Amino acid sequence: MNLSGNTFRNCMLAASLVLAAGAPGLASAQALELSIRADEPGLPISRYLYGQFAEHLGRGIYEGIWVGEDSPIPNTKGFRNDVVAALKALQIPVVRWPGGCFADEYHWRDGIGPRDQRPVRINTHWGWVDETNAFGTHEFFELVDMLGSEAYIAGNIGSGTPREMAEWLEYMTADGNSELAELRRANGRQDPWKVSFFGVGNETWGCGGNMTPAYYADLYKRYATFLKAPEGNRPKKIASGGSNEQTIWTETLAAAVDWGMDGISHHYYTLPTGEWPVKGKAVGFPEQEWISTLFNTMRIDEYLRLNEAVLDQHDPESKVGLYLDEWGTWYDPEPGREPGFLYQQNTLRDAVVAALNFNIFHRHAKRLHMANIAQTVNVLQAVILTEGEKMLLTPTYHAFEMYKPFQDSTFVPNAFAGMPEYTLDGVSVPRVSATSARTRDGALVLGLVNLDPHESATLAVSIDGFAARSVAGRVLTANAIDAHNTFDAPETVKPAALEVELDDGRLLLELPSKSVTVVTVRE
Ligand code: AHR
């Protein structure tokens, strides 16, 4: 790469600014050149790409979100005040509930009416523990209202009937005098709720019923036929799809279902080792598992591309979306904890994983209509962890918070003039990942990830079609690849200001090693 004397001087200047702010030392004076075409806006980046998934699993709902009105933990109508306030600040666009695997054994009538009369069931998937049904349909919509989110209901196709599924939707949306509308009113909710999305089963290839794609495609049509709601409050219907590199579910559903299907779901979990029996640890992992985790998480790019290609063949008008309604990291259970509760610590690595995924999702905005991280509180790649009355925000929370400006923004193309790789033991990933967009209020926003755990990266950014006049940067980084927040030290990993120089319309900045940065530029 050729560097003019001026560029070199500016890069050194930018680096010294970062050094002055206490960032890691300058490792390379050679700037990576990034060009942004603000004059060539692309597709909208849906806010739904920043969705959440909250299942009845471990301490995700019970204790994590819902503690009940009599709890000593400060709450409003049984919802933890601290958790609700933190989630609200994330501007969560949509919450998927009640599962996951739990969805296909959930019977909605168990979760309505007076709480002391609700039946106790067994949560057979997750720890074989009592499910009190204290958190049911009314509580879910209360949560969604408090967060300013929309509802994505996952219906039970595995062990429920078409009638049960249809009646749940009627209970939630009926506006007339039907028995179910009156029952909802008797239970305290006068007006219908808005159900934005309705999933017809979950992982029907596994915990949702061990079906074949063809069998499920027929079943989907049968159940979806009876999913009716008043005009103006009809949910988008989402079919349960495949996972990882699979395309057979998308292929079969797209070929067999030519009405009443707005989306097909897909799931992908990132395992450091790529192997389920020994996935890798959440903290105290070797550098080999830093790079393998980042490498594995970026496989989603290819998996989305494969499924999009299938949809392009069957649905050239792009009516059917892909819903990545479960994604995130999945590590070995923490020693001493109930393995079925899927509780795991969350480190700087998880924040980098989250930001890499966001950067990839933006490039799939045409078909990727939603993504839901698994899961909101205390489960898998959680944004919040709790222990009794204590709560902490994870590095993943901060990545979501920093990327808020991308919700409902417009994608803007960008390209690097060459990209060096970070390599370890034969595994290579690009050193830097970038995304860019125009926000709803006209700013230009950049999301940048430095994947290299040792080397900072100097960046020179040129922008076409945008007269940059002011700039502000925020960075999330830490000293160690497994740096994390604890209940005793909850602010070890949190965003800080990053100086960015604006020089004749060009941006000059230094990305610390192992970091996530968001830069907002205004005209
Ligand atoms: O998120 C945990 C589980 O992972 C979900 O219940 C299931 O859908 C997936 O296998």
User: How far, in Å, CA of 163 to CA of 240, rounded?
Assistant: 19
Between the CA of residue 469 and those of 458, 462, 484, 507, 523, what are the distances in Å?
Answer: 21, 13, 36, 10, 5
* Atom 9 of ligand 1, residue of closest alpha carbon: 100
CA of 303 to the centre of ligand 1 (A): 18
Count of beta carbons in the 10 Å neighbourhood of residue 68: 16
User: How far, in Å, CA of 333 to CA of 322, rounded?
Assistant: 30
Instruction: Please provide residue 337's backbone torsions phi and psi, each rounded to the nearest 5 degrees.
Output: -110, 155
CA of 427 to the centre of ligand 1 (A): 28
Active site residues: 203, 326
Q: What is the pLDDT of residues 225-253, one digit of tens each?
A: 999 999 999 999 999 999 999 999 999 99
Instruction: Please provide residue 388's backbone torsions phi and psi, each rounded to the nearest 5 degrees.
Output: 55, -130
Residue 2 pLDDT exceeds 60: no
Residue 107 has a pLDDT of 98
Place of tokens 């915990």: 207
Residue 29 has a pLDDT of 55
Determine the average pLDDT of the residues in 183-212.
98
Question: What does the CA dihedral 214, 217, 219, 220 come to, rounded to 10 degrees?
Answer: 170
Confidence of residue 331 (pLDDT cuts 50, 70, 90): very high
Residue 13 pLDDT exceeds 80: no
Between the CA of residue 355 and those of 298, 384, 476, what are the distances in Å?
Answer: 11, 17, 11
Residue 170 host element (H or E): helix 162-173
Q: Tell me the pairing of strands 470-476 and 496-498.
A: antiparallel
Q: What is the pLDDT of residues 162-185, one digit of tens each?
A: 999 999 999 999 999 999 999 999
pTM: 0.94
Pocket test for ligand 1, best of 96, 97, 157, 202 (most atoms within 8 A of CB): 202
Determine the average pLDDT of the residues in 137-158.
98
Pocket test for ligand 1, best of 203, 265, 331 (most atoms within 8 A of CB): 203
Q: What is the pLDDT of residues 404-452, one digit of tens each?
A: 999 999 999 999 999 999 999 999 999 999 999 999 999 999 999 999 9
Residue 27 pLDDT exceeds 70: no
Q: Dihedral sign for Cα 59, 65, 70, 75, please.
A: positive
Task: Show the ligand 1 pocket: residues with CB < 6 angstroms.
Answer: 55, 99-101, 202-203, 326, 374-375, 380
Burial 206-225 (b: 16+ CB within 10 A, else e): ebbbebebeebbebbbebbe
Three-state SS sequence of 398-431: HHHHHCHHHCCEEECCEEECCCCEEEECCEEEEC
Q: Which of 516, 481, 523, 514 is nearest to 498 (CA)?
A: 516
Residue 30 has a pLDDT of 83
Q: Evaluate the omega torsion of the peptide bond into residue 335 and state whether it is cis, within 30 degrees of 0.
A: no
Q: Which of 395, 365, 402, 354 is nearest to 491 (CA)?
A: 395
Determine the average pLDDT of the residues in 513-522.
98
Residue 176, C-beta contacts closer than 8 angstroms, at least 6 positions apart = none
Kindly give the interhelix angle for 287-297 and 299-314, rounded to the nearest 10 degrees. 10
CA of 376 to the centre of ligand 1 (A): 13
Residue 488 pLDDT exceeds 70: yes
Q: What is the pLDDT of residues 88-131, one digit of tens each?
A: 999 999 999 999 999 999 999 999 999 999 999 999 999 999 99
Q: Is 58 exposed, middle or buried (0-12, 13-18, 19+ CB in 10 A)?
A: buried
